[in-house]
Amino acid sequence: MSILAAYAVPHPPIIIPEVGRGEEKKIVRTSEAYTEVMRLAAEHKPDVIVITSPHAAMYADYFHLSPGKEASGSLSQFRAPGAAYTAVYDEALVREIETEATAAGLPAGTAGEREKALDHGTLIPLLFLAQTGYRCPVVRVGLSGLSLLSHYQLGQCIARAVDALRLRTVFVASGDLSHKLKADGPYGFVPEGPVFDQMLTAAFSSGDFLQLLSLSPEMAEAAGECGWRSFAIMAGALDRRAVTPRLLSYEGPFGVGYAIASFEAAGEDASRNIGEQFALARRDQLKAVHAGEDAFVRLARLSLETRVRTGRRAAKSDGLPPALTGTRAGAFVSLKIDGQLRGCIGTISPAAASLADEIMQNAISAGLEDPRFDPVTENELEQLTYSVDVLGAPEAIASEADLDPAKYGVIVQSGARRGLLLPDLAGVDTVQEQIAIARQKAGIRPDEPIRLSRFEVVRHR
């Protein structure tokens, strides 16, 4: 027994009539497709349904598997308490997934449950399944801040656990696409939104999971998606399996992309070792990125890698350009893995003898001292991409009208508290967003008066 089929589905509460109150008619194709895939799921008569949800408990460095015998949930937060479901959990499969994940070096388990109630990303698929009259045990899986490849590998662990227990299993990947499709939508519009949705639905339609994994992380972040990692786990659960793909529907009238796709599994297909293919392609891509780094970024990399590997400070190499050795400036060093921030520390004004020293110290701090993240490990070094922002001198401004989040960074100050946000950041599209984030970083309330300054940066990659 193994994964019989997988279905990618959205989770808009408005699709449930008790919530939509007529508005659900605007996504009738989504509703009809949802009914169809849950009918297909029920026809498989699975022993268990595995559901991945972006709204289950999520941790930066850990996959949460919902514990216990059962859990209930309703859409009461959306004014529909009668839309409710109680799911019985398959505890044996949860334990087996945890065992497989541990063997694979993935952090996953039942610790850290914050909310027992079923989230709406889990609940909505189950409500559609309930319409078929079929019920079976469930395993609920949360996403994480780990790499996309780690999500794929968790899917492989789920498939191995299912095989070990010989369970007929259906996989449901709950997730919406871009949340930024319309200017009058709840999250506004960005050009990356429809592009992301077009590329992801093309991957669904063709069953090209390598294309699914290879989407640009920067584009995904700008698009405001929530389901990409859920779909990556699904793809991993179908590793080396032939599938019959079908895109049943795609709609986005409310500014959020809703796609429904089915992947009926067939026999083995060794050519669909998508995780391995993606890892090799990613390795080659990173080599090209590293080869193209300028002197500023190479210095940041040298500094952090030397400290992590040897515990010592790197010696500045000979031949550094005068722009590094003969000037002083504030600088921020940012680290990312698969497009996700892994650390960022900087100085608003120069604190070291030279810009080179500024970058070297801030690179170490970004990797080892950013309080939002665990220290970078040696195993992560080759996965890191760096950017170095060299700050121009701040200038006081009279109002928000003098800001442009694409061109200027902002400094907000209230008394001794001061918060900074760099310019040209994915997902920060307005001056109001820029100021709000800078306020939050400084612990300045929205109603407190502030002084504003702006600055320009030269970004090195």
Residue 143 falls inside a structural domain: yes
Of 280, 305, 334, the last residue of a domain is: 280
- Do 275 and 308 have their domain in common? no
Give the domain-ending residue among 231, 246, 280: 280
Answer whether residue 432 is part of any domain: yes
Q: Examine the domain organization and report whether 235 and 92 are in the same domain.
A: yes
pLDDT reported for residue 1: 63
Q: What is residue 12's predicted lDDT score, i.e. its pLDDT?
A: 98
Instruction: Note the pLDDT of residue 63.
Output: 98
Q: What one-letter code names the amino acid at 212?
A: L
Cα 303 from Cα 361, distance rounded (Å): 8
> Which residues are within 8 A (CB) of 189 and not within 5 positions of it... i.e. 6 or more apart?
180, 181, 182, 183, 255
Q: Are residues 123 and 162 in the same domain?
A: yes
The overall pTM is greater than 0.85 = yes
What is the predicted pLDDT for the residue at 296? 97
Query: What's the structural domain count of the chain?
Result: 2
Q: Are residues 243 and 332 in the same domain?
A: no
Bridge partner residues of 387 (DSSP):
334
- CB-based contacts of 79, cutoff 8 Å, min separation 6: 18, 19
Q: Compute CA 149 distance to the chain's CA centroid, rounded to the nearest angstrom.
A: 12
Range of the domain at 379: 291-460
Q: How far is 366 from 307, CA to CA, in rounded Å?
A: 12
426 CB-near residues (< 8 Å, 6+ apart) = 218, 221, 222
In this structure, the answer to whether residues 274 and 312 fall within a common structural domain is no
Report pLDDT for 194.
98
Residues 22 and 93 in one domain: yes
Q: Does some domain include residue 191?
A: yes
Residue with tokens 């200027």: 408
Q: Flag whether 302 is in a domain.
A: yes
Query: Phi and psi at residue 228, in whole multiples of 5°?
Result: -55, -45
Which of these three, 280, 313, 342, is where a domain ends?
280
Is residue 276 domain-resident? yes
Query: CA angle, corner 460, sides to 433 and 402, nearest 5?
Result: 35
User: Are 148 and 207 found together in one domain?
Assistant: yes
Same domain, 259 and 162: yes
- Examine residue 285 and state whether it is found in any structural domain, yes or no: no
How many other β-carbons are positioned within 10 Å of the β-carbon of residue 2?
16
Do 229 and 341 fall within a single domain? Answer: no
Q: How far is CA 298 from CA 309, 312, 352, 363, 423, in A?
A: 16, 17, 18, 11, 22
> Residue 430 belongs to a domain with what CATH number?
3.30.700.20
List of the chain residues with pLDDT < 70: 1
Q: Domain for residue 286, yes or no?
A: no
Residue type present at position 203: A
Q: Are residues 200 and 223 in the same domain?
A: yes
Q: What is the CATH number of the domain that holds 194?
A: 3.40.830.10
Task: Note whether residue 197 is domain-resident.
Answer: yes
The answer on 413 and 347 residing in a single domain is yes
Same domain, 391 and 300: yes
